[in-house]
Amino acid sequence: MQQNKSTQSFSEVAPYCKDSTAIGRIFSGLLGSFDLRYINSLFSSSKGQGIDAKNIFQVLFTLPFLDYDNVNQLMRSGCQEAFAHGKDVFYGFLNNPKVDWRRILQLFSKQVLGAIAERTEGTNAPRFLIFDDSILPKTGKKIELIGKVFDHCGHTYRLGMKLLTLGYCDGKTFLPLGFSVHHEAGENNKRGLRTDDLKAQYQKERPPGSPGALRAAEVGLDKITTALSMLKRTLKKCTGAEYVLADSWFMAERFINGVLDSSKGLHVLGLMKTNRMVDIGGKTIKASKVPEVKRKLIKKSSKLKCQYIVHAINYKGIPMRAYWIRMNGQSSWKMLVGTDKKLTFLKAMEYYQVRWSIEVFFKECKQNLKLGKCHSNDFDAHIASITTAFMNYMALALKKRFDAYETLGALFRGFKEDMLEMTLVQKMWQILRIVFNSCLAVMDVCWDSFMRNMIENQEDIQNQLEKTLSSLFSINKAVG
């Protein structure tokens, strides 16, 4: 799928993560303006040794900015003298199944959304909810509920957990609103492990009905069921979204109907595998055969350098609009489908590109905010760690947005610089598109794979480009 050239930057929070003074600014400035009283009350069940739980949380919140992967590193760094308690207090807090981390994340994201709405002028730009999952690799087989999960990118099984995330994007800022953690049962319900490995895993009794018990029970559910439950909870707190974006894994009858049933004004937009059977004009046909049957409907887009077909379809009783796309130089067609039957081809492509924001989110959280770095055997600690990383990300994303657009005066003062930066970035994206369309597309390289590699290996690619450009300039100077 062609990436929209207006994308300005992969990085949302990296500059702040590298700033050692970010910690004080976050708590004294941004978080200081939030009403955290009810959130703090949810920590009350985790008091230990007379230490206020919200103070423990503040320390854990700052760990990524101190460049510590875990509490053990913090306590060995010499900072332990600043605390009136030992590491067991932190571990007890993280492992407490009574802390409602889901509710805490919901309340925090609600305030972030409110802050954005309060300080942003009205706009007609669409807003999106995005579903995607990512693997959190692990090394310890004794971790509670751990197992082998299938990596669709590497086409292999890896020891770890799958993190299903629901995000929100208004075109400027991505915010993670909810998540669930899953394993895969596999053959004989052993999660790809030996019987001895399963027996050696950490096990824990949780109070029935406690937040931790509900999270642990959720691990074995299928992702579509959990995604729809997550969507319903989110719509009660987050209104205004118009589209739900998802990749081909989610685009099934149950997911599409579930989204449509959850809200009358919500549409689904996503890729669908071309091996599905669809109804066109009363005839059932495999989606991959449509470009052959409807050859006369093929059009060309000079803007996106592709061929495409737009046609109404009916998929298992669901009326939809389908867009078949084949990039120049490629042999295979992909199919984008949506329930908004008024959406043009160019708009559908533009909107679907917003889905890449969640891929960037995963990359940045893993690289900068220690997402997935928790090594505890206790599943509750992993939920706490993920929630903290999500809250870190939202705080930094909001700060970046306000730093750039807080006042009209600041906006105008930086107007020339911003325009210059936008122009340069857009030119770079045009160069990437030219490279892809001229060189990679003719070799049948998939744009999605190309983009994912760009996101995952951005620093390595940037360093290589700098070396290449430096060599070219050296050669030009020598020739001159």
The amino acid at residue 222 is D
Helical pair 87-94 and 53-62, crossing angle rounded to 10 deg: 90
Please indicate, yes or no, if residue 121 is contained in any of the structural domains. yes
Q: What is the pLDDT of residues 310-337, one digit of tens each?
A: 999 999 999 999 999 999 888 899 999 9
Number of other CB atoms surrounding residue 109 within 10 Å? 21
Q: What is the pLDDT of residue 60?
A: 82
Find the mean pLDDT for residues 260-282: 93
Find the mean pLDDT for residues 446-452: 64
Please indicate, yes or no, if residue 423 is contained in any of the structural domains. yes
- Do 448 and 431 lie in a common domain? yes
What predicted TM-score, i.e. pTM, was given to this entire model?
0.79
Please indicate, yes or no, if residue 62 is contained in any of the structural domains. yes
- Do 399 and 437 lie in a common domain? no
Residue 103 CA, chain-centre distance (Å), reads 19
Please indicate, yes or no, if residue 45 is contained in any of the structural domains. yes
Please indicate, yes or no, if residue 456 is contained in any of the structural domains. yes
- Do 367 and 434 lie in a common domain? no
Q: What is the pLDDT of residues 398-407, one digit of tens each?
A: 877 776 544 3
- Do 224 and 115 lie in a common domain? yes
- Do 256 and 195 lie in a common domain? yes
Distance from C-alpha of 73 to C-alpha of 153, rounded to nearest angstrom:
32
- Do 370 and 464 lie in a common domain? no
Please indicate, yes or no, if residue 331 is contained in any of the structural domains. no
- Do 402 and 465 lie in a common domain? no
Nearest Cα to Cα of residue 131 among 306, 4, 252: 252
> Whole domain around residue 420: which residue ranges?
413-479
Type and span of the H or E element at 473: helix 458-479
- Do 100 and 136 lie in a common domain? yes
313 forms beta bridges with 320
Please indicate, yes or no, if residue 323 is contained in any of the structural domains. no
- Do 364 and 388 lie in a common domain? yes
- Do 134 and 227 lie in a common domain? yes
Domain count, the chain: 2
- Label residue 205 by pLDDT band (50, 70, 90): very high
- Do 366 and 474 lie in a common domain? no
Please indicate, yes or no, if residue 318 is contained in any of the structural domains. no
Q: What is the pLDDT of residue 347?
A: 94
- Do 236 and 130 lie in a common domain? yes
